[in-house]
Structure 1
């Protein structure tokens, strides 16, 4: 047990911003230490052994966001308060949540932010935060199951509430001990856990965080038993409940996919509507927010389902969907014969007859030069549309699976002809809807060769669709546009096929395009600047956009000569 020689009065009665961030960093360290233990406890609904990894990833995302917030405030000459750090931890966890357990963890961290005063987290704050977390999690889950992380959280909140101590360390100890007792009981509460002889994995992860608070405040973490795993646990899936992360009862032991994505430009009412819709499509439904307001608010969405497309489509009318992630729970490492290559005669589903995994190639239609080098550097093969023979060049690439990025360089007729040609050859191919080179780069950034062709293409297409884009060209003659009359030589800012602005200075033009796209939000601006931009003009454009939008990341690359003077993408 912890050393008791220090008097209660001398123990910390609160945590300031530095102390709270120190606790979060220590949580990352302990989750890393216990990751394999927690993963080994994760035996249901499928033994995918990822709960510890998901919790660690989520906590790291929370710390990264909080450290960024602290640095940003310090750069401005200020000093972060505990509430600012706590809110940043919650936002980072929601944005980076992985798995059902990670989503639930994000709500615990969000609750600390909602409960904290500006300067400190004290005993009353901690009690209030745990109570708030219970409320948030109960509301977020489609059908909370007892004997999971939900139970451990509720009992920890009860333990803190029953403590009359004024010292934060004593309240934290009461919460952790109550959580540990609840964790021990999970084995008997769920038949699946009883058969495997283990405690709940998500609950074990939460106890790590509770014990870390005691350690940070009191100098030593409570002693806990070894939560061992029998050598041959019986892990037959049960149709009665989800024993890992506190989600809904499993309607089918064969539910295949875990679908997660982020929802923005929405509100709590529409998030509730989405939660109800997802319950008709699958189970383990969780929809949680980060507590933000307006377009800056974000919800993390999680569901186990066999209908990936519909699970995403139901959200499209309720906000903006981004960061789609799909995991095959029955084949998490991508080794199933159901993934991959199909011959023209219909045989050879999955690996071919030699047992070889299909080779997948991404081909980008992009002019030779700096742009082609960008795509090549990111792992794509490139085909120059200005050389002619695009179809023959694509067909000449040796690959079982092709993902084609047109990047706005092909007409509709050319895309149709390419599609027809690809259907007449062996292997599988997808032509993705990338309408510009910035959309193509966004798609390539999320390319995942370890998953199936269809899921890889789906994720890449989603990344492209989430990238708003514009480009700059020079008017060839006098004309009347939607925004006024232009003269030959003027710079035309094009959004889609429409002229959105007329400028004469290249720097003014590209900055105005970026401002226009950012008017509806965004976190990353990508500039691809052509030959009209020398080093000085490039630096001026980057500086002006960064100064005008300090919360936005801005990246610029040389695009070389061409008809398009500049491309602008916003994600």
Structure 2
């Protein structure tokens, strides 16, 4: 559980938003009913957050130093790439959060609460005629939530309050009640906040989203979510959007008034640094653009006709699902390949996120689950996943601190399940697998259980040293250490011990371990594989 968000976690949240919106886009688009169906709210939010993520990926290193700066980059990217009313509102949410967090290296619980309140205020200010029962109502509820001062408490309280406010939207807009739906933009807000909870809880976004679907949504809700053409009257047939430069606050106010006379759903919002985004539903396209020319210098003009049906996207992927693992050791890699996993083999050099990205994209799969083989590969996996998500691929990293946890995840992988449910099952299997390890101390040092000398055998359980077997590390010393670690791990329960034998392990080590378990732990089965890992004598997993 994170205590604070740094710049890397901010970027991870935006990537999780893109990933979650991509998964929910069709459901949000499909249920637009107010006032006419044009089915683009989910798509607009996705495009807007994808623009924010791309801005973060392109940002110079100076803008990646602190969390506040990262929010500022995301807000500017979202504003420049905003699509539709919901996209404009989302960009202003990010801008408001960025202003509240300016200059902060990290973001704690009180900081996040202040940021959400600032973001909700700025989002409301972006709309000419705010209506209850829309995503603004959901944002207001999230900002007003009270969940203590720790980061997870603030994030989870905001997400829960948003979900509850979403349920109430049909009570606020009668047309929603008549159709039996909730607000589309509000549903998008819940998706964004669920992604935030996932990042703070250090879980894949799909895990929290699936938990929300199972625990919070009534039966049948998933096929009934959301509203319309993002608001406005069906008297207007076109949506006009453009970016505006070389203007000021007074000219922007005049432009807003001019557009109010032409149509509805008007927003003229800036990033505080000279760039403005303009949005209106109207019938006179030329007048909307001319008003922008009078106010400044429009560019990137986009016009959409509501009556047009978007053409189907070309098929980009040749398969639905794939699993990718990053592992150290040739034998270990072959073990994963035998299970149908695409593998990045990590050698002695520093791991490269672009090499892993190449493996991910090379699967040609729409959904990819990534299993990093140890804690040292988590950052590589996250970086590769973020870049794949920005390019439109659905990629989830399941946290694995050891190859034995990755093997446990693969054991429950079932491509016949829904992708989100499969990720949940794999993440739960990995988390439920306790891990152990034997290594030879390279130098004298101090551990949790006392001092060690170079050449001693160190036994680890779940990342902590639990025993020291004095060196030299001969077969007897290694055997005693292996028995000691497994005995301690089984004391907490377990029915299966998985052992991955490293390059430097004594040849009779697994025989020694098997004999001990047969004599003293007959209720525990032993599964042995040749891992070939260079940095540990043996790895253990207990389930």
After TM superposition, the score normalised by the length of structure 2 is: 0.53
1:105 equivalent to 2:80? Answer no
Q: Is residue 200–residue 244 contact of structure 1 (8 Å, CA) maintained in 2?
A: no
Q: Is residue 155–residue 197 contact of structure 2 (8 Å, CA) maintained in 1?
A: yes
Matching residue of 2:163: 180
Matching residue of 1:91: 76
Q: Which has the higher helix share?
A: 2
Matching residue of 1:135: 121
Inter-CA distance 175–229: structure 2 relative to 1 (3 Å threshold): closer
Matching residue of 1:193: 176
Matching residue of 2:252: 271
1:315 equivalent to 2:296? Answer no
Matching residue of 1:203: 186
Distance in 1 (alpha carbons) for counterparts of 2:57 and 2:185: 25
Q: Which runs of 5+ in 1 are unaligned?
A: 1-10, 236-241, 336-571
Inter-CA distance 182–232: structure 2 relative to 1 (3 Å threshold): closer
Distance in 1 (alpha carbons) for counterparts of 2:245 and 2:15: 28
Q: CA deviation at 1:193?
A: 1.2
1:73 equivalent to 2:61? Answer yes
Q: Which runs of 5+ in 2 are unaligned?
A: 313-543
Q: Is residue 38–residue 229 contact of structure 2 (8 Å, CA) maintained in 1?
A: no
Distance in 2 (alpha carbons) for counterparts of 1:197 and 1:214: 28
Distance in 1 (alpha carbons) for counterparts of 2:199 and 2:224: 36
Q: CA deviation at 1:334?
A: 8.5
The root-mean-square deviation of aligned C-alpha atoms, in Å, is 2.4
1:207-356 superposed matches below 5 A: 207-218=190-201, 219=203, 221=208, 223-224=212-213, 225=217, 228=220, 245=230, 247=231, 250=233, 253-292=234-273, 297-333=274-310
1:39-50 superposed matches below 5 A: 39-50=29-40
Write out per-residue CA displacement over residues 5-64 of structure 1, whole angstroms, 9 at most, x where no aligned residue: xxxxxx322100001101110111111111111111222232111111111111000000
For residue 266 of structure 1, give the secondary structure of its aligned residue in structure 2. Answer: coil
Distance in 1 (alpha carbons) for counterparts of 2:195 and 2:51: 18
Higher mean displacement: 128-137 or 166-175 = 128-137
Q: CA deviation at 1:122?
A: 1.7
Which 4+ residue blocks in structure 1 deviate beyond 6 angstroms? 229-233
Return the match for 1:52 from 38, 42, 45: 42
Distance in 1 (alpha carbons) for counterparts of 2:22 and 2:224: 24
Distance in 2 (alpha carbons) for counterparts of 1:319 and 1:42: 34
Matching residue of 1:403: none
Q: Is residue 14–residue 168 contact of structure 1 (8 Å, CA) maintained in 2?
A: yes
Distance in 2 (alpha carbons) for counterparts of 1:326 and 1:45: 20
Q: CA deviation at 1:148?
A: 0.5
Matching residue of 1:564: none
**Greater length-normalized contact order (CA 8 Å, ≥ 6 residues apart):** 2
Matching residue of 2:432: none
For residue 14 of structure 1, give the secondary structure of its aligned residue in structure 2. Answer: coil
Q: CA deviation at 1:188?
A: 2.2
For residue 317 of structure 1, give the secondary structure of its aligned residue in structure 2. Answer: helix
Matching residue of 1:238: none
Matching residue of 1:21: 11
Write out per-residue CA displacement over residues 119-150 of structure 1, whole angstroms, 9 at most, x where no aligned residue: 11221221122211222122211100110101
Q: CA deviation at 1:227?
A: 8.3
Write out per-residue CA displacement over residues 313-357 of structure 1, whole angstroms, 9 at most, x where no aligned residue: 11212111111100001224489xxxxxxxxxxxxxxxxxxxxxx
Distance in 1 (alpha carbons) for counterparts of 2:157 and 2:310: 40
For residue 304 of structure 2, give the secondary structure of its aligned residue in structure 1. Answer: strand
The count of corresponding residues between Structure 1 and Structure 2 is 302
